[in-house]
């Protein structure tokens, strides 16, 4: 929900790049190329804000999440959390900095260890960061966390298989909250859940944000869910952010052709609009990130593409016909969500 | 070729004036170590040529099991059809011997699956897999079968079909793989196509391509299409009629416009209110409290009553609500459907 967020920036990435090498040979490995999973991403996250990141599979959104929480080391670029560059920290300092940025994973069925009790799962962060909560108070703290996410504190000794999908995702959220982080990276937190359960988890995330003043990076491929929860939205395509703006700007006045195509492809649950929506059906698939097109990466599927798109890469910037940053030479507003022919 | 097809097409009792597909009182149970899971408890469906019927429901509601029972590909054991009839043009498929059932599967009723990568055989080229259908069911020569496979890949708009026919499933993208599976399903010109979550694993832009392709093929061939999905957006875009399933029962059946405008079952209404919408901003998400029931212990009375805002004592006691006729084209299994229909529309 759009609540006023302060202007204090809690997380900032600068020219963030992650290339995965492609090698040939077994003993003598030779690098023959690179998958450009994330290729120069600049983002800012403010206190109490939710930044939605959307895009299709392979666009680099999950790699971005892993970079932010330090599960992958970036090839280059910086991640500044409260003025500290996470990519330059190591040892105890890194460990301490990581407390501040935690993650909720996509699949609540595989991201919880089936051989650990819920209490152990949620309490495990305290083993790694023992100075946060004294040993004697840990159990109490775990109970509080269970209560906070709407689970019964009595269930502390149960195992993950005794919970439903929605409840497991609550356990995952409790684990992320254990170290009292300011920032939570949610990587597709509701996509494995049924619609009736999805709403419960979304409402929980919103309540926690209000109560604890959290900042979320909310990664999802479901554009309707992102619209519901995000204050600002970044659209990614092949490792780059192609358009970024507040939720209204992206959904009501998108200017990048990819955003327009993506939005127009989302089916709206209202049969009276059938056949009346402005649907843009893209041809073909996303090109390989190992060998992205020159210039604008979207030009191979774009209906506006001209020579300049192949030779010159459009920067993510405000443009003549776009009030918010859009990486397209021919950026122009087009309301695809409400358009009726 | 036509005469071979005509010969294979013959099913005892096939009546071309009878309904294309009719499921009546279907019961399926799974006998497991922890008890008997009653997955389907009296499902009624029907389908006419050229029509799209959507079966909508959450995981575990029995929508895929219904499809498997119609196709005759239920894992037995543990799954058993314990009652009901599945009639295709008047022929009860459940009474057919396995050999004839097998012919029905390819020639009359075909199915596409959610995960094309695991539905295709990874060790054979896709062309070989499509051609196999023609060789086995039509007795075609390898060469002719190959030619037909190329035509089919063209039909589902796979570029450079002549070259791609030698590729293996892993060399195709998700969307292209789904096209290959559609080509296989359509190979022998079935009259009924069952699509089980055909686009759930795909991105939205690819989903739009596949749904358009399916709609086009259905129109061209006047096929009946059963679309199984949990996505209320996709359903609104393509379905003619909708059957909403909950705990192994069809709780509401209605034409698509009616169901979205004025749902008659509290479950349908709650589902519609719990989805975030792209074109509406900042609406409060309603939550359906609780969880779908465990199929080994379905509550007495209406299976939805523990989660229902309309529930009263009559709902908590057996028998479960019968199929009330809302109007001649729609039914709902709720004692209080008049209240539900009369309440504020779910959307807008």
Q: How does DSSP assign A178-196, residue by residue?
A: TT--SEEEEESTTTTS-HH
**Boundary of a domain, candidates A230, A264, A299:** A230
Interface probe for B, chosen from A199, A281, A300 (most Cβ of B below 10 Å), is A199
Interface probe for A, chosen from B60, B61, B204, B231 (most Cβ of A below 10 Å), is B204
Distance, in Å, from the CA atom of B14 to the CA atom of B33, rounded to the nearest integer, reads 40
Q: What is the mean pLDDT of residues B202-218?
A: 88
Residues A105, A57 share a domain = yes
Query: Do the domain assignments include residue A297?
Result: yes
Residues A330, A266 share a domain = yes
Please say if the pLDDT value at position A29 is more than 70: yes
User: Does the beta-carbon distance from B204 to A262 stay under 8 Å?
Assistant: yes
Tell me the residue range of the domain where B125 lies. Answer: 2-239
Total domains in the fold of chain B: 2
Residues B93, B23 share a domain = yes
For chain B, the average pLDDT equals: 87
Stated length of chain B = 348
Which residues in chain A touch residue B205, judged by CB atoms under 8 angstroms apart? 56, 261-262, 265, 281-282
- A:B CB pairs within 8 Å: 130
Per residue in B32-56, pLDDT (tens digit) is: 888 888 999 999 999 999 999 999 9
Q: What is the mean pLDDT of residues B157-162?
A: 87
For chain A, the average pLDDT equals: 88
User: Does the beta-carbon distance from B281 to A197 stay under 8 Å?
Assistant: no
For chain B positions 18-77, those within 8 Å of chain A (CB to CB) are 58-59
Interface probe for A, chosen from B247, B278, B293 (most Cβ of A below 10 Å), is B278
Residues A294, A335 share a domain = yes
Residue B207 φ then ψ, to 5°: -55, -40
Residues B268, B220 share a domain = no
User: Does the beta-carbon distance from A279 to B208 stay under 8 Å?
Assistant: yes
Q: What is the mean pLDDT of residues B150-161?
A: 88
Residues B225, B261 share a domain = no
Least CB-CB distance to B205: which of A196, A261, A269?
Answer: A261
Kindly state the DSSP code that residue B309 receives in the 8-state scheme.
S
Which pLDDT score, from 0 to 100, does residue B2 have? 46
Please say if the pLDDT value at position B3 is more than 50: no
Residues A207, A60 share a domain = yes
Residues A220, A312 share a domain = no
Residues B172, B85 share a domain = yes
User: Cβ neighbours of residue A170 under 8 Å, at least 6 residues apart?
Assistant: A149, A150, A151, A201, A204
Least CB-CB distance to A203: which of B173, B256, B287?
Answer: B287
Distance, in Å, from the CA atom of B171 to the CA atom of A251, rounded to the nearest integer, reads 35
Which chain A residue has the Cα nearest residue B207? A265
Residues B269, B189 share a domain = no
Residues A205, A122 share a domain = yes
Residues A54, A161 share a domain = yes
Q: Scan for tokens 């684990």, then name that residue.
A: A175
Which pLDDT score, from 0 to 100, does residue A1 have? 44
User: Does the beta-carbon distance from A267 to B237 stay under 8 Å?
Assistant: yes
Q: Scan for tokens 């439903």, then name that residue.
A: A164
Stated length of chain A = 341
Which pLDDT score, from 0 to 100, does residue B254 have? 94
In the structure encoding, which two tokens stand for residue B203, read together? 């991105």
Tell me the residue range of the domain where A219 lies. Answer: 9-24+33-230
Kindly state whether B272 is in contact with chain A, defined as any CB-CB distance less than 8 angstroms. yes
Residues B132, B20 share a domain = yes
pLDDT band at A341 (very low <50, low <70, confident <90, very high): very low
Kindly state whether B82 is in contact with chain A, defined as any CB-CB distance less than 8 angstroms. no
Query: Do the domain assignments include residue B248?
Result: no
Burial classification of residue B12, based on how many CB atoms lie within 10 Å of its CB (0-12 exposed, 13-18 middle, 19 or more buried) = exposed
Residues B347, B212 share a domain = no
Query: Do the domain assignments include residue B250?
Result: no
Please name which of A55, A61, A81 lies closest in space to residue A18, comparing C-alpha atoms: A61
Distance, in Å, from the CA atom of B97 to the CA atom of A243, rounded to the nearest integer, reads 59
Distance, in Å, from the CA atom of A177 to the CA atom of A212, rounded to the nearest integer, reads 10
Residue A295 φ then ψ, to 5°: 60, -130
Three-class secondary structure of residue B297 per DSSP: coil
Distance, in Å, from the CA atom of A185 to the CA atom of A220, rounded to the nearest integer, reads 11
Least CB-CB distance to A337: which of B211, B232, B278?
Answer: B278
Q: Are strands B35-47 and B21-32 parallel, antiparallel or unpaired?
A: antiparallel
Query: Do the domain assignments include residue A244?
Result: no
Per residue in B237-253, pLDDT (tens digit) is: 899 999 999 999 999 99
Query: Do the domain assignments include residue A174?
Result: yes
Q: Provide the whole-model pTM.
A: 0.85
Kindly state the DSSP code that residue A267 receives in the 8-state scheme.
P
Distance, in Å, from the CA atom of A270 to the CA atom of A262, rounded to the nearest integer, reads 18
Query: Do the domain assignments include residue A282?
Result: yes
Kindly state whether B314 is in contact with chain A, defined as any CB-CB distance less than 8 angstroms. no
Residues A332, A222 share a domain = no
Which residues in chain B touch residue A246, judged by CB atoms under 8 angstroms apart? none
Three-class secondary structure of residue B228 per DSSP: strand
Residues A71, A168 share a domain = yes
Least CB-CB distance to B231: which of A2, A228, A267?
Answer: A267
Which chain B residue has the Cα nearest residue A264? B205
Kindly state whether B347 is in contact with chain A, defined as any CB-CB distance less than 8 angstroms. yes
Per residue in A244-301, pLDDT (tens digit) is: 999 989 998 999 999 999 998 888 888 888 877 778 888 777 888 888 899 999 999 9
Interface probe for A, chosen from B279, B291, B294, B307 (most Cβ of A below 10 Å), is B279
User: CB of A51 within 8 A of CB of A114?
Assistant: no
- CATH code for the domain in which residue B118 is found: 3.40.50.300
User: CB of B72 within 8 A of CB of B111?
Assistant: no
In the structure encoding, which two tokens stand for residue B156, read together? 């589902």
Q: How many CB atoms lie within 10 A of CB A238?
A: 24
User: Does the beta-carbon distance from B204 to A56 stay under 8 Å?
Assistant: yes
Query: Do the domain assignments include residue B196?
Result: yes
User: CB of B195 within 8 A of CB of B234?
Assistant: no
Which residues in chain B touch residue A223, judged by CB atoms under 8 angstroms apart? 204, 278
- CATH code for the domain in which residue A133 is found: 3.40.50.300
Distance, in Å, from the CA atom of A276 to the CA atom of A224, rounded to the nearest integer, reads 19
Residues B189, B84 share a domain = yes
How remote is the C-alpha of B292 from its chain's centroid?
A: 20
Per residue in A83-103, pLDDT (tens digit) is: 889 888 888 888 888 899 999
User: CB of A280 within 8 A of CB of A336?
Assistant: yes
Least CB-CB distance to B270: which of A196, A248, A338?
Answer: A196
Three-class secondary structure of residue A20 per DSSP: strand
Residues A208, A304 share a domain = no
Total domains in the fold of chain A: 2
- Beta bridge partners, A236, equal A241
How far, in Å, are B305, B307, B316 from residue B312 at the CA level? 8, 12, 7
Alpha helices in chain B (DSSP H): 2-9, 63-71, 98-107, 116-119, 126-138, 142-155, 161-164, 174-186, 204-221, 232-238, 256-261, 266-274, 313-316, 337-342
Residues A148, A59 share a domain = yes
Residues B219, B95 share a domain = yes
How far, in Å, are A104, A160, A183 from residue A172 at the CA level? 6, 10, 15
Query: Do the domain assignments include residue B244?
Result: no
Between A20-29, A292-301, B226-235, the lowest mean confidence (pLDDT) is in A20-29
Query: Do the domain assignments include residue A240?
Result: no
Residues A215, A274 share a domain = no
Query: Do the domain assignments include residue A236?
Result: no
Q: Scan for tokens 């209204």, then name that residue.
A: A248
Least CB-CB distance to B276: which of A227, A263, A267?
Answer: A227
In the structure encoding, which two tokens stand for residue B219, read together? 């129109």
Residues B264, B216 share a domain = no
**Boundary of a domain, candidates B239, B266, B296:** B239
Residues B135, B174 share a domain = yes
Residue A59 to chain B, least CA–CA distance (Å): 11
Kindly state whether B271 is in contact with chain A, defined as any CB-CB distance less than 8 angstroms. yes
Residues B82, B51 share a domain = yes
pLDDT band at B345 (very low <50, low <70, confident <90, very high): low
Which chain B residue has the Cα nearest residue A259? B205
């Amino acid at each position: 929900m759009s609540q006023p967020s302060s202007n204090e920036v809690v997380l900032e990435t600068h020219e963030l790049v992650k290339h995965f090498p492609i090698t040939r040979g077994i003993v003598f490995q030779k690098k023959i190329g690179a998958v450009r999973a994330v290729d120069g991403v600049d983002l800012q996250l403010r206190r109490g804000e939710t930044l939605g990141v959307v895009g299709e599979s392979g666009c680099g959104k999950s790699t971005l999440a892993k970079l932010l929480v330090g599960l992958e080391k970036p090839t280059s670029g910086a991640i500044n959390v409260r003025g500290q560059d996470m990519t330059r920290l190591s040892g105890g300092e890194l460990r301490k900095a990581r407390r501040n940025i935690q993650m909720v994973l996509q699949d609540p069925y595989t991201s919880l260890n089936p051989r650990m009790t819920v209490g152990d799962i949620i309490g495990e962060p305290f083993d790694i960061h023992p100075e946060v909560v004294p040993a004697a108070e840990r159990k109490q703290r775990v109970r509080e966390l269970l209560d906070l996410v709407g689970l019964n504190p009595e269930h502390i000794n149960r195992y993950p298989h005794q919970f439903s999908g929605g409840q497991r995702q609550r356990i995952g959220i409790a684990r992320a909250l254990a170290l009292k982080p300011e920032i939570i990276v949610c990587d597709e937190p509701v996509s494995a859940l049924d619609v009736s359960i999805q709403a419960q988890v979304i409402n929980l995330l919103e309540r926690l944000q209000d109560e604890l003043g959290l900042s979320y990076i909310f990664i999802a491929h479901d554009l309707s869910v992102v619209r519901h929860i995000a204050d600002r939205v970044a659209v990614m395509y092949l490792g780059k952010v192609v358009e970024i703006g507040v939720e209204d700007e992206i959904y009501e006045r998108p200017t990048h052709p990819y955003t327009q195509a993506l939005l127009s492809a989302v089916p709206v649950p209202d049969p009276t609009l059938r056949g009346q929506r402005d649907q843009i059906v893209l041809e073909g698939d996303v090109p390989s990130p190992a060998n992205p097109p020159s210039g604008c990466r979207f030009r191979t599927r774009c209906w506006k593409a001209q020579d300049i798109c192949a030779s010159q890469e459009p920067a993510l910037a405000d443009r003549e016909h776009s009030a918010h940053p859009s990486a397209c030479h021919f950026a122009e507003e087009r309301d695809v969500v409400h358009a009726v022919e | 070729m036509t005469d071979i097809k005509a010969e294979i097409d013959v099913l005892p009792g096939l009546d071309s004036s009878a309904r294309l597909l009719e499921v009546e009182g279907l019961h399926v149970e799974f006998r497991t170590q922890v008890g008997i899971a009653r997955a389907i408890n009296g499902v009624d469906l029907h389908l006419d040529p050229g029509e799209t019927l959507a079966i909508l429901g959450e995981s575990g509601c029995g929508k895929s099991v219904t499809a498997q029972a119609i196709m005759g590909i239920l894992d037995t054991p543990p799954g058993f059809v314990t009652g009901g009839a599945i009639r295709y043009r008047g022929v009860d498929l459940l009474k057919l011997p396995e050999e004839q059932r097998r012919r029905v599967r390819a020639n009359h009723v075909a199915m596409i699956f959610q995960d094309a990568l695991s539905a295709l055989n990874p060790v054979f080229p896709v062309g070989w897999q499509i051609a196999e259908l023609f060789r086995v069911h039509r007795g075609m020569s390898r060469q002719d079968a190959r030619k037909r496979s190329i035509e089919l890949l063209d039909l589902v708009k796979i570029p450079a079909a002549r070259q791609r026919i030698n590729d293996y499933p892993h060399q195709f993208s998700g969307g292209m793989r789904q096209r290959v599976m559609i080509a296989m399903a359509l190979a022998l010109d079935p009259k009924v196509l069952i699509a089980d979550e055909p686009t759930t694993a795909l991105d939205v832009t690819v989903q739009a391509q596949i749904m358009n392709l399916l709609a086009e093929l259905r129109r061209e061939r006047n096929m009946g299409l059963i679309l199984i999905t949990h996505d209320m957006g996709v359903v609104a875009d393509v379905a003619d009629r909708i059957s909403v399933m909950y705990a192994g029962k069809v709780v509401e059946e209605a034409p698509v416009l009616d169901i979205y405008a004025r749902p008659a079952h509290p479950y349908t209404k709650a589902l519609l209110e719990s989805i975030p919408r792209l074109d509406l901003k900042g609406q409060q998400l309603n939550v359906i409290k609780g969880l779908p029931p465990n199929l080994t212990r379905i509550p007495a009375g209406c299976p939805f009553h523990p989660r229902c805002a309309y529930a009263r004592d009559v709902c908590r006691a057996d028998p479960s609500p019968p199929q009330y006729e809302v109007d001649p084209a729609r039914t709902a299994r709720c004692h209080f459907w008049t209240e539900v229909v009369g309440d504020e529309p779910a959307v807008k």
